[in-house]
Structure formats: C-alpha cells, structure tokens
Amino acid sequence: MDTQVILDALKKHFNFEKFKSKLQKKAVIEICQRKNDVYVSMPTGSGKSLCYQLPAVLYEKKVTIVFSPLLALIKDQIDHLLALNIRAASLNSKTVVAERNALLADLKSVSPNTKLLYVCPEQTKTSTFKDLFYHLVKFDKLAYIVVDEAHCVSQWGHDFRPEYLKLGALRDDCAVPYIALTATAGAEVTKDIVSSLRLSKDHKKYKSSCFRHNLFYDVVYQNIIENPYQHLKDFIQDCLAEEEEISLPKEKKSCGIIYCRTREQTEIVSEKLKKMGVKALCYHAGLRNKDRLEYQDKWFDGDIPVICATISFGMGVDKGSVRFVVHWGVPKDPASYYQESGRAGRDGKPSKCRIYYNRSDKKAVEFHLAHDLGKARENEARRIKTENAIKGFNKIAAFCENPTECRHKLFSTHFGESMEDCKKMCDFCVDKTAVQKMSENFLTKSIQ
C-alpha cells in the first residue's frame, strides 16, 4: 500500500498530521501490507493502538478482531473510535441482547460496517463467538487478529490471564496476520508471546529500546556515609535547584519521588526531611483515603515537591517534571526498578535515579521471600513465582553490592537488548574505580 494513502488516512480518520514516532510509522506501514505477523513493543503512551486501528480502517469490507483483557480498556477504545466516526463495537458478557443481535447481523452481512470488534478473551469459548468467528473465516471477512496487552499470555508477567493461552489456537482455522502488542516486555515474556500466539518465524518486530538516555543512575551505600538523611537532603536540593530562577507554573516545577519498602519508612523519611526544611509528604495504603488523595494531589499540583511513598504510588501517574526517583532501600527486581525509576524524566530532561542501599533492608526482603517460599511448597505455580521473585531480587542486590558494568545494562539484559555502555549516564561509566572502591568499602564494613 502506498505510504501517501496511509498518511492521508492518518489525517482523515485520526486527525493526526504525522506519526508519533518512526517506529509507529514503520509498524503501521508493515501491518498495512498484511504479509506478516507483527510484534509491537513500545512503552505505555507511545500510540500502539493506532498501529492496528489505522490498518483496520484502511482495509475495506473486512473486520479486525481485537482481544483486550479488560472491559474498561475496551470501553475507552470504543468511545474514542466512535468519536472519530470509526465503527467499533464489543462483544462481551455485558452487551445487551438487542445490541448484540444488531452487531451480529452487521458482522454477518455481505459487507460489514463494523471495522473493529473488541472481544474479551473469555468470549472465545462461547458459542456466539465461535459461530461468528467461523462465519468470518468462511467468508473471508477477517482483516487482522490483534492481541493487545499480549504480555497477559505469560506466567512471567504480572498480569497473567489463562484465557489468553487459547488465542494462539484460533490460528488453526484462519490465515490472517496476527498483531501482538505490549508495553516493554522482558525477554522471557517476549518469548512466551511469540510461542503462545504462534507468531510466524519471520514475524516482524517493532520494539523501542529500553535505554533512557536522560536518566543518570547511581547507588549510594547508606551505612558508609556519615549522615544518610543529610546526604539525601543535599541530593534533593541539587536535583530541584536548577529551575528555581525560572518562573514556571507550579505544576511544572521540579519534583521527586522517594520509594520506601514499608509504610513506616515513608513516614520516617518524610518526617526527617520535613525537620530539615524539605517540603515532603508521605503516601501509602495505610492512610485514610481522603488524606492519600489529598497528598497525591498536592504533589501532583506542585504544592509539595517531594513524596515519600510505597510502590503503590505512581500507577497511572504521568508527570513530566519528576527530576529524581530515589529508592530508599532496595528495589524488588530489575523490572520493577525500571518501571519505578522510569517515572523520572518523562519530559526528556536530565533526571536522576538513585538507590540508597542498605544491608538490613536486603536482609528483611530475603527473610520475607524465604518465608513465602516455605509457604508455597505445596503449590507449584506459587513456588515458581516465588523462585522467580528470588532470582529477580538477587539480581538487583548484586547490582547494588557488586557493580561490574554500566548500570543501564541491568535493564537491557532484562529486556533482551544489546547496548553499548552509556558512557556518562551512570556512576560506573563516569568513574568505575571509585564505584568499585565504594563497593569494597561497603562489603568490608558489612561483614564486620
């Protein structure tokens, strides 16, 4: 298909002047050819939906089936498409009968008006779906089969959905291209997606790099610095200082997040900082709902720049001007650390990610994991999960205690990418000797 036709459709149907990224453009062009299965892995918010929606619209008289895990997500997508005048509908347990009948009648007509049909994976076992699916296959009315949030096929992922495992089997009956989409997935998850959805050997991959070029990573050992809280305060002031002169609306002013492992720690750290004159709040699940929301708003609106929080904070929080993310203690595993520290610098400006490591925190986590493992003996699935959690934790603990390479490689290895050293965006690349000396110093003191 001609690129100009695709660009025209982007403007005409979606009101966009250009593609959001080169990767989005390439993925759309490839999918429009309908030659290969396609795997798209890009971070949340990068416009993965368009990668299949535009081709679906362009492919006349055919229907695209989109598998999506949640009714809420489906509803959002459909509302959005209908507002753009694109015919989209959903087949799910909540569809009312009259609507369902009208939808099925359209889909079974000679040239359906519906372009995109959103389906929860649970539907595949219903006779309505089976019947419809075979009809669409028989009369060659399918354009694509799309699996959104494809990481749900993997037990390695955090959102495993057993029903997703059945989606690959639909291939036995039809020969339309499969499009699998997910946010940045680890190497194991990617492998599971490819094998479970039976993507063809020569499927095309569109994967953005996990490297965040504006984030500086380092590790500081709490027990070899004189006053950890003073050290933290200096770091915060350093990170927040740059823009003081410039007059920005308060919600765009620099701010930061300090992640702590426990509720108590969020309170202790925020109190210490407040006593030292830093405007800070704490956030955790033990707060009253009203307070929690109020604190989150205060941080979000820029009234209070520093929030000390458990990891429940940040889901769906998309604030550009986060200049630092501190982990006070040790993160859970490489994937969590990538996600949590990745909340820094969304606006592309230089930002810092630092772990204030300490041994006692590590011991506490190990204790909990050992306990979980003991309890999981009976249950195979839980045991595997806990064993994976332990592996992940050991990786991040080694990353802190025995640095041997560019810090960014923790992530590239996890996501199965190869990368050069970052050169100047981590403590190790800036001064390897100093980092190794500190680590030796830390290890010596910790043994005593």
Q: How far is the CB of 73 from Mg ion (least distance, A)?
A: 7
Nearest Cα to Cα of residue 155 among 127, 100, 193: 193
Task: Specify the stretch interacting with Mg ion by CB under 5 A; choose among 46-54, 63-71, 275-283, 332-340.
Answer: 46-54
- DSSP E strands in 42-91: the ranges are 63-67, 88-91
Q: How far is the CB of 275 from ligand ADP (least distance, A)?
A: 41
Asked whether the CA dihedral 428, 431, 432, 433 is positive or negative, the reply is negative
User: Would you say 92 and 83 are in contact if contact means Cβ atoms under 8 Å apart?
Assistant: no
**Which residue matches tokens 């989409």?**
181
176 binds, among Zn ion, Mg ion, ligand ADP, none (CB under 5 to 8 A by kind): none
Of residues 203 through 222, those in contact with ligand ADP by CB under 6 A are none
Of residues 122 through 181, those in contact with ligand ADP by CB under 6 A are none
Residue of the chain from 10, 396, 406, 438 that contacts Zn ion (CB under 5 A): 406
User: What single-letter DSSP state applies at residue 176?
Assistant: P
Nearest Cα to Cα of residue 283 among 275, 272, 271, 291: 291
CA dihedral 194, 199, 202, 204 (to 10 degrees): -80
Rg over CA atoms, the chain: 25
Residue 184: CB atoms within 10 A of its CB come to 24
| CB-based burial, 153-172: b 16+ in 10 Å, e otherwise | bbebbeebbebbbebbebbe
28 binds, among Mg ion, ligand ADP, Zn ion, none (CB under 5 to 8 A by kind): none
Q: How far is the CB of 48 from Mg ion (least distance, A)?
A: 5
**Integer angstrom CA distances of residue 50 from 26, 262, 419:** 12, 40, 28
Q: How far is the CB of 358 from Zn ion (least distance, A)?
A: 23
Residue 19 in the binding site for ligand ADP (CB under 6 A)? yes
Task: Specify the stretch interacting with ligand ADP by CB under 6 A; choose among 16-24, 119-127, 324-332, 375-383.
Answer: 16-24
Task: Specify the stretch interacting with Zn ion by CB under 5 A; choose among 99-107, 272-280, 345-353, 401-409.
Answer: 401-409
The amino acid at 370: A
- Of 20 and 432, nearer to Zn ion (C-beta) is 432
Residue 146 in the binding site for Zn ion (CB under 5 A)? no
Tokens of 11: 């403007």
Nearest Cα to Cα of residue 407 among 442, 375, 373, 431: 431
User: Would you say 309 and 259 are in contact if contact means Cβ atoms under 8 Å apart?
Assistant: yes
User: Would you say 137 and 174 are in contact if contact means Cβ atoms under 8 Å apart?
Assistant: yes
Residue with the shortest CB distance to Mg ion: 48
Whole-number Å distance between alpha carbons of 59 and 51: 13
User: Would you say 310 and 281 are in contact if contact means Cβ atoms under 8 Å apart?
Assistant: no
406 binds, among ligand ADP, Zn ion, Mg ion, none (CB under 5 to 8 A by kind): Zn ion
Max distance between CA atoms of the chain, in angstroms, equals 79
47 binds, among ligand ADP, Zn ion, Mg ion, none (CB under 5 to 8 A by kind): ligand ADP
SS3 breakdown of the chain: % helix, strand, coil, rounded to 5? 50, 15, 35
Residue 426 in the binding site for Zn ion (CB under 5 A)? yes
- Of 11 and 61, nearer to ligand ADP (C-beta) is 11
User: Residues touching ligand ADP: how many (CB under 6 A)?
Assistant: 11
Of residues 33 through 62, those in contact with ligand ADP by CB under 6 A are 42, 44-50
Task: Specify the stretch interacting with Zn ion by CB under 5 A; choose among 85-93, 282-290, 310-318, 422-430.
Answer: 422-430
Tokens of 1: 């298909």
The amino acid at 273: L
Residue 389 in the binding site for Zn ion (CB under 5 A)? no
Residues 336-355 vs ligand ADP: string with x where CB under 6 A? --------------------
Residue of the chain from 429, 435, 438, 442 that contacts Zn ion (CB under 5 A): 429
Q: How far is the CB of 445 from Mg ion (least distance, A)?
A: 47
- Of 38 and 282, nearer to Mg ion (C-beta) is 38
Task: Specify the stretch interacting with Zn ion by CB under 5 A; choose among 42-50, 122-130, 273-281, 427-435.
Answer: 427-435
Q: How far is the CB of 411 from ligand ADP (least distance, A)?
A: 19
- Of 148 and 427, nearer to Mg ion (C-beta) is 148
Residues 70-89 vs ligand ADP: string with x where CB under 6 A? --------------------
Whole-number Å distance between alpha carbons of 291 and 237: 26
Q: How far is the CB of 161 from ligand ADP (least distance, A)?
A: 17
Q: How far is the CB of 13 from Mg ion (least distance, A)?
A: 18
Would you tell me which residues interact with Mg ion (CB under 5 A)? 48
Q: Which residues bind ligand ADP (CB under 6 A)?
A: 16, 19-20, 42, 44-50
